[in-house]
A and B are shown apart, each in its own frame.
Chain A
Amino acid sequence: MTILDEAPPATGRERPVPPTRRSLKPSKRRSVTAWLFLAPSLAVLAAFMVYPMIQAAYLSMTDYNLIRAAEWVGLDNYVELFQDASFWNAFWNTVLYAVVVTPITVVLALALAIFLDRQFVGRAFVRTAIFLPFIVSLGIIAIAWAFLMDPNIGLVTYWLSQVGVVSSQGILSDPNWAMPAVMFVGVWKNVGFYMVIYLAGLQSIPQELREAARLDGAGAWQRFRHVTLPLLSNQTMLVSVMALIATLQAFDQIYVMTHGGPYFKTETLVMLIYREGFQELRFGYGAAISWVLLLFVFLLSMIQYGFFQRRQVRF
């Protein structure tokens, strides 16, 4: 930067000198500047995140369908929710999805990161290939997966039938196979992103620590268990929290591949919010489901955070 002796007038972002002719104290002036920098973002966040979030709490206590005025019903939506079989179905589907997909994704991401931390020919290609699904649209690529799993012309269906795994209705219409199929696509999509975070973590581990353990006679597993893994606990926390939140919000591949079917076997909470809110136009009821989702995400994140906080290692 060169010397800038002429700041544009009336921007409210004055130069810090000279102090003599300023009416505001430097600390005041800094505050004004900072708030001016923050103002556009805070306005957008307040109008389109904070306000709708609070509004969602209000709507969840009304009966509202966009056309007639919202009618106050108190906690009726929540009472109905807890007696609604389709809510519990979606809730347990979401839990099942999260409980299966989160650990598989995290463990696989770590395994791939350790594998790809080694040197070999074509490593850059493999890294890119694993990361690529994260970059592409699940809304689009799920169309490809749906075709690959088509009962008549699907390549994956055909390959599976060649090795003796046969499903007469096709994978996505089979109540036993639809959920594993969307879970598989969910893992496939995100594992590369978490792998990159683990790779960055592995690169920050001082090599001396592992070398020292090696000289002390620790085997590969021991070095992993007692050196690498504890030093990656920050990454594990970040990846677990992010993966869990992402799985609780699963939507895209479910919408494209199964639409929540067959027999609501793959309907998750977000899918249910979409169906109740935007297809049945029950906005109040949909908002109530949203708030249950929010509290659920918040609670689980706190538990996870508390769990990892006690196990954190610094170096």
Chain B
Amino acid sequence: MATTIEKIPVTIHRDRPPRRRGPSYMSTKSIWTWVTAIAGIVIALGMLLPIIWMVFTAFKPESDIVSFPPTLWPRELTIEHFVNVWDRIPFARLYVNTIVFAGSVTIISLFLDSMAAYALARIDFRGRGFVLVLILLLLMLPFQVTLIPLYDFLNSLGLTNTLPGMIIPRMTNAFGIFFLRQFFLSLPKDLEEAARVDGASEWRIYWGVIMPLARPALLTLGLFHFQYNWNDLLWPLIMSSDVASATLPAGLSLFMGQHVVEYGLLMAGSLLALLPVIVFFLLIQRSFVAGIATTGLK
């Protein structure tokens, strides 16, 4: 049974291996560990099935994709789809649009969200409660409700079918403000007080003290903003009726079944479209878990 000696590391480092290394039931324990590991791998492969399938299909020649019975593993390999996708559909245009749209929304909204969150978390002022309630109400508002008047409004400004028209309404975000406020609340007051005594302006405290401390939260929120906008389908679909301003999800889903019957081509395009978000996630993975664990999301 678990002894007191084993319990000490358990309570301190919950995530580290020295957990229950009791020699008495080492063998059954290790069998269970293996069963667990195998079950985990099976679940993981199941979850990844469409992505794995996408990777293999993108490298299959067209004749292999449509042959029966279908197989997961390619019979031959080719990279022609990755070469062709750039001229068969206006893929480069879609890619640039998506980078501009998701990238600028992420950067601008991180900036505006954090400013608003700073005021709500660190400055005591009249009307704070009111603003907070407003933010919480907007948090619950389905974005689809604003869709039609928003389109109408931007249309009257001549901004439909343009990238600024897609970006401007997304420049700040109630969720982002709330998320960062929760994080800012958890930061210690001391540093800020010291800066204030030194005569630093609120702006200096925000930019020089709080923002550097908020790195994990900012990266996490950055990932949320980036993936949400990179992946968004409905908003770009409505705002862009031509390829000049379309983004990848809207563009590729339009090409599905309409212009392209070549599955390999579409899968190569889809795979390239997924790549930046996956890379972004893998890069900031550590900060991401810390960001979730230390903010209001728990």
Give A residues with C-beta under 8 Å from B. Answer: 1-5, 7, 11, 13-17, 27, 30-31, 33-35, 37-38, 40-42, 44-45, 47-53, 55-56, 59, 66, 112, 115-116, 118-123, 125-126, 128-130, 132-133, 135-148, 152-155, 158, 188, 192, 196-197, 200-201, 203-204, 206-208, 211, 214, 234-235, 238, 245, 248-249, 251-252, 255-256, 270, 273-274, 277-278, 283, 286-287, 290-291, 293-294, 297-298, 301
Contacts and interface: CB of A to CB of B under 8 A. Distances in A.
Contact of B146 (A31, A52, A154, A297): A52
A56 B149 contact: yes
Contacts of A204: 293, 298
B25 interface: no
Contact of A211 (B7, B69, B155): B7
B133 interface: no
Nearest to B120: A38
B158 interface: no
B140 A7 contact: no
A71 to B, nearest CB: 15
A245 B174 CA distance: 15
Interface in B249-269: 249-250, 252-253, 256, 263, 266-267
B209 interface: yes
The 3 closest A-B pairs by CB, nearest first: A139-B249, A139-B233, A137-B231
B86 interface: no
Interface in B111-146: 112-113, 115-116, 118-120, 123-128, 131, 134, 138, 140-146
B19 A293 contact: no
24 contacts: A34-B128, A38-B115, A44-B168, A49-B141, A49-B146, A53-B141, A56-B149, A66-B155, A122-B44, A132-B281, A135-B277, A137-B249, A137-B273, A140-B231, A144-B53, A144-B270, A146-B256, A148-B53, A152-B68, A196-B292, A197-B298, A283-B148, A290-B142, A301-B140
Given A51-B149, A277-B147, 8 more contacts: A1-B195, A35-B127, A44-B169, A112-B43, A132-B51, A139-B253, A147-B263, A235-B298
A141 B256 contact: no
A136 B65 contact: no
Nearest to B269: A140
Contact of A238 (B145, B266, B297): B297
Given A31-B127, A66-B155, A140 B270 contact: yes
B147 to A, nearest CB: 7
A39 B166 CA distance: 21
Given A1-B194, A139-B250, A153-B70, A132 B298 contact: no
Most buried by B among A129, A196, A273: A129
Nearest to A214: B2
B1 to A, nearest CB: 9
Given A130-B47, A197-B298, A251-B234, A143 B149 contact: no
A139 B231 contact: yes
B17 interface: yes
Most buried by B among A139, A204, A234: A139
A287 B149 contact: yes
A280 B250 CA distance: 19
Nearest to B280: A135
A141 B282 CA distance: 18
Contacts of A128: 282, 285
Which secondary structure dominates where chain B touches chain A? helix
Given A143-B253, A293-B145, A126 B43 contact: yes
B277 A137 contact: yes
Contact of B36 (A120, A155, A200, A208): A120
Interface of B: 2, 7, 10-11, 14-15, 17, 19, 33, 36-37, 39-41, 43-45, 47-51, 53-54, 57, 65-72, 112-113, 115-116, 118-120, 123-128, 131, 134, 138, 140-153, 155, 168-169, 171-172, 174, 177, 191, 194-196, 198-206, 208-209, 223, 227, 230-234, 237-238, 248-250, 252-253, 256, 263, 266-267, 270, 273-274, 277-278, 281-282, 285, 289, 292-293, 297-298
Given A17-B199, A37-B206, A136 B41 contact: no
A136 B253 contact: no
Contact of A277 (B140, B148, B231, B270): B148
A37 B99 CA distance: 28
Contact of A200 (B57, B134, B297): B297
A87 to B, nearest CB: 15
Most buried by B among A15, A38, A234, A238: A38
A129 B48 CA distance: 6
B146 A137 contact: no
Nearest to A18: B199
